[in-house]
Chains A and B, each alone.
Chain A
């Protein structure tokens, strides 16, 4: 059994943290600028953030928001597993990489390293110094029931005390984050 202790939903319509809805922060420009506005708003001091692709930025910011709501530091560094899903994998970044190649330019190594969707898990793990289990699944849509069933396997096998994850999707300027933190009962 598990218990949901925190839920964040964030998309173009707004941000909902544990049922409390807020408008998006004002920003000039597109998704990159919106994510930068939240980076500043959260008071993060993590220059590597600016090197990330939008998918990783979205995941890192979501976890930072969740950390502000719920004390994750109470867990051992390998006790929190991460389990995320999305539909577009890293296509948002893959396109940029392909465009560089098509234009005959040398491909950017800094862009290339984000051409895998599970890099977002690595970025979250590095920032939080977590060493737990992690899983990234590409699916048509977010199936909460299936997500919870997979988490239960982790709990049953004593692989994790809690699971953080859900849906993290970015494609061009569209984004959607649905983040859950569930703990083993």
Chain B
């Protein structure tokens, strides 16, 4: 499965975005704030998704701000760091 679609499905499932469909999430749309409207707890949950599914640990919270910007930035980071 395409990594971006897989990420969208995992976000919807793990973050309980029950009224959102994968096609509603644009690849370059901000995930936090004005975009998908995720909050700080969701950010922690994404850290867990990366750990459980891709064996990626985010050590520096400042780094997460850029990595979690959009589906595009998340996918790029996973492709570069997946073990």
Interface residues of A (CB under 8 A from B): 36, 47, 50-51, 105-110, 113
**Other-chain residue from A36, A107, A110, A113 in contact with B15 (beta carbon distance below 8 A):** A110
**A108-B45, A109-B45, A113-B41 known; A47+B51 contact, CB < 8 A:** no
A contacts with B: majority SS:
helix
State whether A110 touches B18 (Cβ < 8 A).
Answer: no
In the bound assembly, the distance between CA atoms of A119 and B14 in angstroms comes to 20
Complex contact A50–B41 (CB within 8 A): no
Q: Which residues of B contact A (CB under 8 A)?
A: 14-20, 37, 41-42, 44-45, 48, 51-52
Nearest to A51 among chain B residues (CB) is B16
CA distance A113 to B42 in the complex (A): 11
Contacts of B17 in A (CB 8 A): 47, 50
Contact assessment for B41 and A109 in the assembled complex, using a CB-CB cutoff below 8 Å: yes
Instruction: Name B48's contact: one of A36, A47, A108 (CB within 8 Å).
Output: A108
B52 & A106 in contact (Cβ 8 Å cutoff): yes
Chain B proximity of A63: nearest CB distance (Å): 20
Tell me the bound Cα distance from A47 to B18 in angstroms.
8
**Given A105-B52, A106-B51, A106-B52 in contact, is the A47-B19 Cβ separation under 8 Å?**
yes
Most buried by A among B17, B44, B51: B44
In the assembled complex, the Cα of A36 lies from the Cα of B52 at a distance in Å of: 28
A50 to B17, CA, bound (A): 7
In Å, the complex CA distance between A141 and B52 comes to 40
Q: Is the CB of A50 within 8 A of B16?
A: yes
Closest to A49 in B: B18
List, in ascending order, chain A residues with CB within 8 A of B37's CB.
47
**Extra pairs beyond A47-B17, A50-B17 (15, CB < 8 Å):** A36-B18, A47-B18, A47-B20, A50-B19, A51-B15, A51-B41, A106-B48, A107-B48, A108-B14, A108-B48, A109-B41, A109-B45, A110-B14, A110-B41, A110-B42
Contacts of B42 in A (CB 8 A): 110
- CB-defined A-B contacts under 8 Å, sample of 19: A36-B18, A47-B18, A47-B19, A47-B20, A47-B37, A50-B19, A51-B15, A51-B16, A106-B52, A108-B14, A109-B44, A109-B45, A109-B48, A110-B14, A110-B15, A110-B16, A110-B41, A110-B44, A110-B45
In the assembled complex, the Cα of A50 lies from the Cα of B15 at a distance in Å of 9
